[in-house]
Amino acid sequence: MKDDAKTRKKRLYETLRRDILTMVRAPGSDLDEVTLAETFGLSRTPLREVLQQLAGEGYITSRENRGSRVSELSHQTLRDFFLTAPMIYSAVSRLAAQNARPQQLVALKQAQTDFRKALKSGTVEERTLANNRFHEIIGEMAHSIYLMPSLQRLLVDHARIGMTFNRPVNDRMAANLATASRQHDALIAAIEGGDEEAAAALAIDHWNLSRDQIEMFVMPQGLDMQIDTTGAVKTA
């Protein structure tokens, strides 16, 4: 029974995580804990344990006496994301080049293989999840108890925004996806070679690839900003 309960908890976690990242569950939507418990055959305690884990990773927010809901994508949240993401991605990539382990490099290369397959014949959901996993592994490589929680929260929102960008509607967007794949390859090479400066710079280039589209999504009026090679941001 313990194994069965553990399996059901894992299935609930993976289902909610995927539904949130792929926008099946809309930002700010409530989670019906009674229905979830019945659907996955879980009692209140293991259900709450899964929800607590998801809350700690930034997928949902818990409200006292009001239940849980999917993390919002408010204007302020997205503005903070836009300003913070390049700094976090740059720092994480730099540390990954310093600390990557052989087995993590194997996992990163596999994640890139999965991403290329998703670009060729996968759905937008598969592209989004493959890209998310690629960057999660780089975060794991960084081995930072301070940066990983911030990266995890950024990736939740980046994946949700990516549900728009991973569905190309014109030749430029399709070309950007191909460029993103090549940048993944370059990041792998920099990390594998221990070149932290190159890894940090590539992280910024990778961010800038989708910057204009993200800026349009978050702030239609745009944002006057500059990003240096350390990921530092200056706004007008």
Average pLDDT in the 123-143 region? 94
pLDDT tens track for 116-125 = 999 998 888 9
Q: List phi, psi (to 5°) of 7.
A: -65, -40
pTM assigned to the model: 0.84
Report residue 142 CA to chain centroid gap. Answer: 15
Q: Which of 10-14, 101-105, 144-148, 208-212 has the lowest mean pLDDT?
A: 208-212
- 67 exposure class (CB count in 10 Å sphere: 0-12, 13-18, 19+): middle
Cα 185 to Cα 226: distance, rounded to the nearest angstrom: 25
Domains of the chain: 2-70 (1.10.10.10), 75-235 (1.20.120.530)
**pLDDT of 56 strictly over 80:** yes
d(CA 57, CA 52): 9
